[in-house]
Amino acid sequence: MRGTLHRSFARVRQWATSALWPFFLRSLRLTVKVAGTAALVLIVLACTRLPFDAHRALGTSCACTQEPQAVVVLGGSGMPSGPELRRLQHGAMLANALPAVPVFVVHPPDTGVMRQMVDELVLRGVERGRITAVLHGTNTREQALAMVRLHPELAGRRIALVTAPENMFRSVRTFRRAGCPQVCGEPAWDNPMFIDLAYGHRRIGGKAWMPDVSGETGLRYTFWNYLKLEVTCLREYVAIGYYWLNGWI
């Protein structure tokens, strides 16, 4: 009996191996081809300015054209972090230019991070009494609904929404769909540097047998920055599609 079962299992294993192995190989080859093609496309696009233009389009499509009546700073990156500090810096600049406008800081329910965010705004000249902390929501949809529920007076005001440029298109449309039709975008751009980043390869001890890329700032910086922008934009396009399918934008 045991020998019969062993032979039966062996035949089943042999059949499964013979049937599934070719399918596995075809799937593996297809996966490698698709991944290689995608990687090649990303590398080629990183040699153009398309990633820069795509990122800029996400940030500028909903720009404010009128003076806002409220400033809303969206958080979510933690403190201290580059994206969070940049948003707070831009939010403080707007608040200081509009001293009569209330300032709202929206962040997931983490009181420690919120305290640091409020302190950063105060450090940059915003009066503490003007700042309202909103500790609700772990994504943009939840945050928009919380703002409408907790501060219904904002529904009829012009709101300047401060967030990262890549999140601006989705965030503005999410707030509009949630009940704030007059919201517009104030993207927190990084500050560019306008200096020559070339250096002397041999002067600082570069090897003679190594390629001299001291003057190739595009290869050293722009190419890799554009690769990161491609990933950032692709992630945001997926998020926009998800929000659209849910009817949130």
What is the domain partition of the chain in residue ranges? 67-187
Range with the largest mean pLDDT of 65-69, 106-110, 234-238: 234-238
Contact yes or no for 52/229 (Cβ under 8 A): yes
Q: What string of H, E and C letters represents the secondary structure of 48-93?
A: CCHHHHHHHHHHHCCECCCCCCEEEEECCCCCCCHHHHHHHHHHHH
Q: Is pLDDT above 70 for 5?
A: no
Run of H or E residues at 37? helix 2-45
Domain made up of 67-187: CATH architecture: 3-Layer(aba) Sandwich (3.40)
Q: Is pLDDT above 80 for 134?
A: yes
% of the chain with per-residue pLDDT over 90:
53
- Which carries the bigger pLDDT value, residue 20 or residue 217? 217
Residue 184 CA to residue 176 CA, distance in Å, equals 9
In this prediction, residue 20 has a pLDDT band, given cuts at 50, 70 and 90, of low
Q: Is pLDDT above 60 for 63?
A: yes
Q: Regarding beta strands 103-107 and 183-187, do their DSSP bridges make them parallel or antiparallel, or are they unpaired? A: unpaired
Task: Look up the pTM and report it.
Answer: 0.83
In this prediction, residue 42 has a pLDDT band, given cuts at 50, 70 and 90, of confident
Of 14-23, 66-75, 127-136, 214-223, the poorest mean pLDDT is in 14-23
At 196-227, the pLDDT tens digits run 777 777 787 778 888 777 777 777 788 899 99
Predicted pLDDT of residue 213 = 77
Predicted pLDDT of residue 151 = 92
